Each structure stands twice: as C-alpha cells, then as structure tokens.
C-alpha cells in the first residue's frame, strides 16, 4: 500500500480534505503513522474537519501518535479545524497526558480560535476538572472571552460545575464580565445557592446586571446571531441556533425560540426527531430522540422525555427545581425543515428577527 508509486501522492487529500496521515492519526494507528512518516508524509498538512494530524491525534488521546508527530517537529500551534488547535482538542477530549505533552512542546496555553475559544473553555465545557486545574496552573487566563462573550466561569456556571467554579475563582476569574445573554457570573450563580456562595468569594467582589442592560444585550445578540447564521448559510455555526433560541426564550418570545430549537433537529428516524443535544439528566452521550425539553430559565439544560416525566416527581433533582420547560418540537412541526443548509423560509425568518431586534 505504501510502496512509492507514480500514481500515488502520499499527501493527497480525500473529498473531505483529509490526507492519509490525518486518518491514521485520528484512528491511532501507530504503525501506519510511522510508515507514512518514513515515506515523507507532510505532518503539517492542513484540511478536513479537525484541521491537521496533530489535532486529530490529540482529540483521540493517542499519546504515542502525538509523540511521533512532535518528534517530527510538527507545528504544535497550528491553527484551524473544529477545535482551533491541538491543545483545545486534547482539553475537550479529556486527555490530560496529551495536554501535558503539548504544553511541554511549546503549545500556547492561551491560544484562541475554534469552537470553544481557548483550551480552558474547551476543558470546562466538557467538565474535565483535572485538566481545567492543570491549565490554570500552567498560566491559562481565566478571563478570555469566546465569540459569545463567555468566560470559562460562565461555562462552568451553566453546567453547575462547583469544582471548576472554585478553581476559576481561586485563579482570579473576573465575575463582572457580561456574556451574550447579558448576564455576569453572579446572575447565573444566583440560580443555585452553593454556586452563589462560591462566586461571592471572588476577589473583585460580585455584581449583578440590571434588567434593562440584560434586555438590550439579548436583542443585540439575536441580531448578531441571526446575521451570522445568514452569512454562513448553514445551521452548524457556533454560537448559533442554540444561543439564538435561548436569547429569544429569555425575552419570553417562545414561538421564535421553538423555531430556533426545531432547526437543531438533525435527522428524523421512523418519525422520531433526533436532536443535536444530549440529555443533562441521563448524562448519556447519545443524542436526544423524540421530544426534547429545554429549560426556560437555565442557559444549557435539556431533558429527554423519560427524564422529563421523572423530573416532575423527583424533588431530589437540584438543578432546575421549579423551572418550566419548552417542548421541542412543538405541535405542527414540519419535518421538511431538517437539513444542513438554510431553507428559504428559514432565511426569511432570520431576516424578520434582524428587523425586529435591530440594535440602536
């Protein structure tokens, strides 16, 4: 397979932009990676969903492959792909050893880009406590914001992750920064007594944002998110439909919020919609199938139907106690809306949102 061949270019990419070494790195096939390296495969080739071979191996946690690529002087800070860089991929994947190897090889702990913003955002979003602490101890800044204004402290509060909230507060997280929902850390922490005590311990003291400022920020975010969805002409941009749905819901516009969440249905299986979301109660990694219930108060709490039925009677459930949920899809949902691109009707809807929520 790897014999030199005048018909075969070892660095040729497939339809998705991936070369052989990217595939082998993602799958952790050390021997294949070694053979490709011996034949001169380009370790820095760019392309595909994960951008490059190092990001592929890092997300998969393939330590040996990461080591082999680093020995070939791969660019440890190469940008691109879903995660933006290899350190973010390893941090989100939960691979502490790989995180350490990349930092030892000179990865920039505060490099920005990709789906999450920074490595600390990526680790926090996935709830990897040990990695978040390791990054903080390796000089990661707790106050970098992502493209929706969120700091890692915001993300930890959305998840109700007490350990990471404490670590961020201890490392100087600024509780006054306002996210795209117009709220600072204390606003979110106030949904839960334990969390509000932890944030109140911030050195800078804690503030809350006025209702008026929140409303203005929500309108501004609806405008910006609608515009970026239209510009991208696809549903998979982030921040995107998820945040748009929550902004609309926080302004009590439940009709448009439901449309936003319905557009996050990725597939229909035997009449059952499959959502681009997992259930926060089962903790299962599988996508929610059937009805999805979105908390109208919290920024990131979804439930599957069986958990929702249990929720009504389960008083031990700390998160979302007493909160109301929006059911997705709603009555009269049209399965024709499922697809990656934006249908004409969706475009019209986004344009109407931009008009209605034009900031001054």
Q: In the complex, which residues of this chain contact Zn ion (CB under 5 A)? A: 279, 281-282, 295, 297-298, 301, 304, 307, 320, 323
Report yes or no: 41 and 9 within 8 Å, Cβ to Cβ.
no
Phi and psi angles of residue 232, each rounded to the nearest 5 degrees, phi first: -75, -25
CB neighbour class for 354 (10 Å; exposed up to 12, middle 13-18, buried from 19) = middle
Report yes or no: 192 and 318 within 8 Å, Cβ to Cβ.
yes
- Closer of 15 and 269 to Zn ion (Cβ): 269
Cα(174)–Cα(201) distance, integer angstroms: 11
Cα distances from 201 to residues 198, 208, 252, in angstroms, run 5, 14, 32
Cα(144)–Cα(157) distance, integer angstroms: 16
State the minimum distance, in angstroms, from the CB of residue 7 to Zn ion: 51
State the minimum distance, in angstroms, from the CB of residue 183 to Zn ion: 14
Cα(193)–Cα(190) distance, integer angstroms: 6
Q: Could you check whether the bond before residue 174 is cis, i.e. omega within 30 degrees of 0?
A: no
State the minimum distance, in angstroms, from the CB of residue 174 to Zn ion: 25
Strands 325-328 and 292-295 turn out to be: antiparallel
Cα(239)–Cα(224) distance, integer angstroms: 10
Rg (CA), the chain: 22
Report yes or no: 192 and 165 within 8 Å, Cβ to Cβ.
no
State the minimum distance, in angstroms, from the CB of residue 262 to Zn ion: 19
State the minimum distance, in angstroms, from the CB of residue 296 to Zn ion: 7
Strands 292-295 and 302-304 turn out to be: antiparallel
Sequence-ordered list of residues with C-beta below 8 angstroms from that of 92, at least 6 positions apart, any chain: 59, 83, 116, 122, 123, 125, 126, 128
State the minimum distance, in angstroms, from the CB of residue 306 to Zn ion: 6
State the minimum distance, in angstroms, from the CB of residue 217 to Zn ion: 20
- Closer of 39 and 289 to Zn ion (Cβ): 289
State the minimum distance, in angstroms, from the CB of residue 188 to Zn ion: 11
- Closer of 140 and 298 to Zn ion (Cβ): 298
Return the SS3 of 302: strand
Do you know the residue count of the chain?
A: 360
- Closer of 89 and 298 to Zn ion (Cβ): 298
- Closer of 59 and 311 to Zn ion (Cβ): 311
Cα(75)–Cα(77) distance, integer angstroms: 5
- Closer of 166 and 287 to Zn ion (Cβ): 287
- Closer of 24 and 298 to Zn ion (Cβ): 298
- Closer of 109 and 304 to Zn ion (Cβ): 304
Residue 6 has, within 13 A of its CA and on its CB side, a CA count of 0
- Closer of 139 and 309 to Zn ion (Cβ): 309
- Closer of 56 and 243 to Zn ion (Cβ): 243
Instruction: Return the number of other C-beta atoms located less than 10 Å from residue 207's C-beta.
Output: 14
State the minimum distance, in angstroms, from the CB of residue 295 to Zn ion: 3
State the minimum distance, in angstroms, from the CB of residue 149 to Zn ion: 21
């Amino acid at each position: 397979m790897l014999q030199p061949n005048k018909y075969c270019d070892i660095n040729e990419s497939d339809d998705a932009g991936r070369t052989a070494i990217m595939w082998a790195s993602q799958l952790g096939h050390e021997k294949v990676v070694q053979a490709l390296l011996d034949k001169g495969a380009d370790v820095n080739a760019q392309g595909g969903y994960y951008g490059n071979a190092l990001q592929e191996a890092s997300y998969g946690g393939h330590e040996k492959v990461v080591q082999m690529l680093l020995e070939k002087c791969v660019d440890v800070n190469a940008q691109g792909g879903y995660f933006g860089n290899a350190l973010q991929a390893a941090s989100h994947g939960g691979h502490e050893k790989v995180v350490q190897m990349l930092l030892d090889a000179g990865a920039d702990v505060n490099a920005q880009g990709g789906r999450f913003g920074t490595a600390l955002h990526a680790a926090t979003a996935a709830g990897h406590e040990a990695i978040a602490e390791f990054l903080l101890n390796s000089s990661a800044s707790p106050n970098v914001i992502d493209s929706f204004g969120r700091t890692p402290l915001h993300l930890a509060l959305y998840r109700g992750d007490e350990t990471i909230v404490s670590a961020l507060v201890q490392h100087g997280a600024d509780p006054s920064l306002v996210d795209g929902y117009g709220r600072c850390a204390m606003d979110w922490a106030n949904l839960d007594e334990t969390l509000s005590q932890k944030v109140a311990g911030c050195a800078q003291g804690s503030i809350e944002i006025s209702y008026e400022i929140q409303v203005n920020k929500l309108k501004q975010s609806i405008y910006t998110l609608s515009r970026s969805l239209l510009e991208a002409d696809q549903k998979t941009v982030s921040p995107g439909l998820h945040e748009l749905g929550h902004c609309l819901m926080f302004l009590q516009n439940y009709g448009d919020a439901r449309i936003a969440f319905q557009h996050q249905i990725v597939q229909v299986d035997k009449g059952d919609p499959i959502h681009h979301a997992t259930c926060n109660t089962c903790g299962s990694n599988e996508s929610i199938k059937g009805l999805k219930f979105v908390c109208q108060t919290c920024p990131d709490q979804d439930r599957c139907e069986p958990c929702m039925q249990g929720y009504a009677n389960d008083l031990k459930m700390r998160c979302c106690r007493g909160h109301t949920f929006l059911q997705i899809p709603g009555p009269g949902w049209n399965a024709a809306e499922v697809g990656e691109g934006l249908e004409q009707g969706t475009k019209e809807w986004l344009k109407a949102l931009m008009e209605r929520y034009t900031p001054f």
